[in-house]
């Protein structure tokens, strides 16, 4: 039996689909800020987007998947910044600090949306975490590779530990600062000591790894 191939969607159909998807995402952002991540429903988002709830579900299986896409969407410009800018830094501290500053600036453009997305992330199950983790890892891998190649060749595992440590500190400070309505300067001031400490610890670990003692030095 010959199977008939489904016709490929036309360019205009793809454009319509992209516009509908964008309209749903924009509606979700607006409703999230007004209602809150825990209370918002697919029906409310559909009403704001002027589409049916069923159409929203065609694009996003669950509310969690929709909110996850908002998170991914926010990270895409950061990825572009990293690819374009990381090679310009001449100091590992400045590389980490510059990455955080760029990400922070984007998150603070809509503080309440960022707060709602972060709050909802704490309620995700295994399926949502599985979708979330690869995206975060891709962002961090760009930083890890750039730091390793430029400053610490051969020590990627140690660099990865340092970058993940700073990332964890940043997430904690971001969550607390959003709750307290900190200014961008206050966020960065709170993070500077953590970045410095992590870089010093990383370089101490590398010195220890490179140290090859003379087995007879203690007997001289």
- pLDDT computed for residue 12 by the predictor: 66
**Orientation of helix 63-85 relative to helix 42-49, angle to 10°:** 70
Whether residue 216 is contained in a domain is answered as no
If asked whether residues 91 and 44 sit together in one domain, one would say no
In a domain, 220, yes or no: no
Say yes or no: 140 and 169 in one domain.
yes
From 8, 31, 60, the end of a domain falls on 60
Number of independent structural domains in the chain:
2
How far, in Å, CA of 117 to CA of 37, rounded?
7
- Average pLDDT of the segment spanning 180-196: 95
Q: Is pLDDT at 96 greater than 90 in this prediction?
A: yes
Q: What one-character DSSP code corresponds to residue 125?
A: -
Residue among 20, 129, 19, 125 at smallest CA distance from 71: 129
Residue 148, domain member (yes or no) = yes
Please indicate, yes or no, whether residues 98 and 42 belong to a single structural domain of this protein.
no
* Contacting residues for 138 by C-beta, under 8 A, at least 6 apart: 79
Whether residues 158 and 56 share a domain: the answer is no
pLDDT digits (tens, 9 = 90+) for 3-61: 555 556 666 667 778 899 999 988 998 998 888 888 889 999 999 999 999 999 999 88
Question: What is d(CA 213, CA 211) in angstroms, rounded to the nearest whole number?
Answer: 6
Whole-number pLDDT of residue 1: 47
Ranges of H-type helices in the chain:
11-35, 42-49, 53-59, 63-85, 92-107, 111-121, 126-150, 156-180, 184-210
Same domain for 127 and 42, yes or no, is no
- Residue 131 covered by a domain: yes
Among 7, 29, 60, identify where a domain stops. Answer: 60
Q: Which pTM value belongs to this model?
A: 0.75
**Do 54 and 75 lie in a common domain?**
no
| 135 and 104 assigned to the same domain | yes
Whole-angstrom CA distances from 87 to 81, 84, 141, 145, 209 are 11, 7, 14, 11, 26
* pLDDT higher than threshold 60 for residue 210: yes
In a domain, 88, yes or no: yes
The pLDDT score that the predictor gives to residue 35 is: 86
Q: What span, in angstroms and rounded, lies between the C-alpha atoms of 20 and 57? A: 12
**Are both 36 and 128 inside the same structural domain?**
no
pLDDT of 167 > 70? The answer is: yes
pLDDT digits (tens, 9 = 90+) for 139-165: 889 899 999 999 999 999 999 999 999
Query: Domain range spanning residue 21?
Result: 16-60
Residues 187 and 106 in one domain: yes
- Token pair 């975490």 in the structure block, residue: 129
Residue 66 lies in a domain: no
* CATH number of the domain within which 55 lies: 1.10.10.60
1 compared with 56, residue with greater pLDDT:
56
Mean pLDDT of 188-198: 96
Domain annotation covers residue 219: no
What letter would DSSP give residue 108? Answer: G
Residue 2 predicted with pLDDT over 60: no
The mean pLDDT of 174-201, rounded to a whole number, is 94
Same structural domain, 38 and 95: no
Task: Identify whether 3 is part of a domain.
Answer: no
Q: Are residues 94 and 175 in the same domain?
A: yes
Q: How many Cα neighbours within 13 Å face the side chain of 220? A: 4
In a shared domain, residues 50 and 150: no
């Amino acid at each position: 039996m010959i199977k008939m191939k489904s016709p490929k969607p036309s360019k205009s159909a793809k454009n319509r689909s992209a516009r509908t998807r964008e309209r749903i995402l924009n509606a979700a952002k607006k409703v999230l800020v007004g209602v809150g991540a825990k209370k918002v429903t697919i029906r409310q988002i559909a009403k704001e987007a002027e589409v049916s709830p069923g159409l929203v579900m065609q694009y996003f299986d669950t509310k969690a998947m929709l909110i996850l896409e908002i998170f991914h969407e926010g990270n895409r410009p950061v990825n572009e910044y990293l690819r374009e800018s990381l090679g310009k830094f001449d100091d590992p501290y400045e590389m980490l600090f510059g990455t955080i500053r760029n990400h922070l600036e984007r998150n603070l453009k809509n503080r309440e949306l960022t707060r709602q997305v972060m709050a909802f992330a704490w309620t995700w199950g295994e399926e949502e975490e599985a979708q979330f983790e690869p995206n975060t890892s891709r962002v961090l891998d760009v930083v890890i590779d750039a730091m390793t190649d430029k400053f610490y060749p051969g020590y990627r595992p140690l660099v990865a530990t340092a970058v993940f440590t700073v990332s964890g500190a940043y997430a904690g400070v971001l969550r607390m600062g959003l709750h307290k309505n900190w200014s961008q300067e206050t966020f960065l001031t709170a993070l500077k000591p953590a970045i410095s400490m992590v870089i010093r610890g990383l370089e101490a670990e590398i010195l220890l790894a490179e140290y090859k003692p003379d087995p007879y030095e203690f007997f001289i």
